[in-house]
């Protein structure tokens, strides 16, 4: 990942959550020429998206805790401290949808909802 994407406030990752990962992969491969790399972490399989040899995002199956969430693209914004940023979001009228938690070998993330109801993900990456 480009170093500039690791700075506080940078939009650093895009992710598709979908009910049909295989169909989504086929569609976007045809549309954009994306190449994929599968990763397994415990019970979860995650698909890395590569464009021009660079990791640019991911695709994953809708997790059980998301309920009937329709397929959706989300963005991640890099922050210096996920827990502190989550607390600040709440103090500004936002809500925490998924509390801060660790992603092994990646970093720490949280899902927030702003006062108007828009959802955004925040993340702090582990040092290389």
| The pLDDT of residue 66 | 84
CATH number of 3-125: 3.10.180.10
Structure tokens at 100: 């801060």
Give the global pTM.
0.84
| The pLDDT of residue 44 | 86
| The pLDDT of residue 21 | 96
| The pLDDT of residue 65 | 83
> Where exactly are the structural domains of the chain?
3-125
Residue 38 half-sphere exposure toward CB, CA atoms < 13 A: 9
| The pLDDT of residue 67 | 83
The CA distance from 51 to 53, in Å, is 5
Residue 27 half-sphere exposure toward CB, CA atoms < 13 A: 8
């Amino acid at each position: 990942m480009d170093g500039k994407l690791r700075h506080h406030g940078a939009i650093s990752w895009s992710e598709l959550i979908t009910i049909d990962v295989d169909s989504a992969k086929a569609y976007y491969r045809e549309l954009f020429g994306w190449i994929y790399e599968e990763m397994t972490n415990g019970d979860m399989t995650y698909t890395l998206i590569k464009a021009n040899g660079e990791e640019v995002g991911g695709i994953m199956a809708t997790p059980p805790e998301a309920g009937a969430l329709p397929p959706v693209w989300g963005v991640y914004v890099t922050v210096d401290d996920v827990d502190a940023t989550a607390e600040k979001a709440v103090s500004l009228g936002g809500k925490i949808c998924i509390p801060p938690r660790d992603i092994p070998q990646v970093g720490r993330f949280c899902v927030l909802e702003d006062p108007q109801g828009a959802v955004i993900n925040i993340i702090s990456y582990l040092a290389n």
